[in-house]
Amino acid sequence: MSLRYGVIGGGSWATAIVKMLIDNVDVVNWYIRDKGSVDYMIKHGHNPKYLSSVLFDREKIDVSTELEYTIANSDILIFAIPAAFLEDALSEINSLSEKKIVSAIKGIIPGRDQLIAEFFVDKYNIDINNFAVISGPCHAEEVSLERLSYLTISSPDETLATEVAQKLSNHFLKTSISDDIYGTEFSAVLKNIYALAAGVCHGLGYGDNFLSVLVSNAIQEIKRFVDKVHPINRDIKDSAYLGDLLVTAYSQFSRNRTFGNMIGKGYSVKSAQLEMNMVAEGYYATKSIRSIVLKSKVSMPIYDAMYNILYLGISPKKEISLLADKLK
């Protein structure tokens, strides 16, 4: 009997994941909090708020506003909601011990300073071998257009990684597997922060020459950090690390770059958040990862600059000017 899949989240990335899964499973169980969106999906087969051009076979999706229902009817749960809201979303869920958990979340749990894997192991007693991470480079908007994309599925359990990789594979999506869940999670958190930095620099008027140097230094920061906090043999040039950083820093679809661009152009954090229809994970991650960065004692000048801009109120123009002297 094939494993049943449930997707938790109603945003663009959750919608893209359902699109990837739908041809490879009998039914995708799908939890969306907003009742209006669920009613629309049941009637029309479209997510009215995100990737609305994607048409789903309504007989192959079981959409519900009841999280307990989706969990109960799924063996593998793919979480695709912002890290900042994950704990609240699960506040009434007492046990997930019988489930396999897959994180498509790029963030740190606020207040806990935990990766998604650490959160599920700590709070829900999930066996780490029943946990996997989905990492890019892959934007939901290109999935909706069926443009060729790549994903890496990381898990200590090769069988679980292979199972998820196979279910996400199709004619426009290629997958590979890894055992580096902590490295890919930390890298995904940091690349969102560096995409914010790229956006800030673009908003300030810096050109491609400077941005290429910024991103080159950013991947070096990622390597120094992940090698310190989780020292295993990894190639930082693999697409799960460098590729994910590149697409997030440069793509027109990157919400983190867009958010940073607005900050660079003079928007306040609050006004930028109000104007965007999606969450920029990098903003929350910059604060949530602060204590881990300080404990690591790794040199991270780009990260430090973004923390100073977003949380200490230092002028982006001044901060990036100081940062420019530290890059090479």
The one-letter amino acid at 309: I
H-type alpha helices, 92-243: 116-124, 140-144, 158-168, 181-204, 208-229
Residue numbers annotated as active site: 191
Both tokens of residue 44? 């029309």
Contacts of 255 (CB under 8 A, 6+ apart): 276, 278, 279, 280, 281
Q: What is the chain's alpha carbon radius of gyration, rounded to the nearest angstrom?
A: 19
Q: Is 155 helix (H, G, I), strand (E, B) or coil?
A: coil
Gap between the terminal Cα atoms of the chain: 55
Neighbour count for residue 158 (Cβ, 10 Å): 12
CA distance 6 to 286: 30
Closest CA to 225 of 307, 297, 287: 297
Report residue 149: phi and psi, to 5°.
-140, 165
Closest CA to 2 of 172, 171, 164: 164
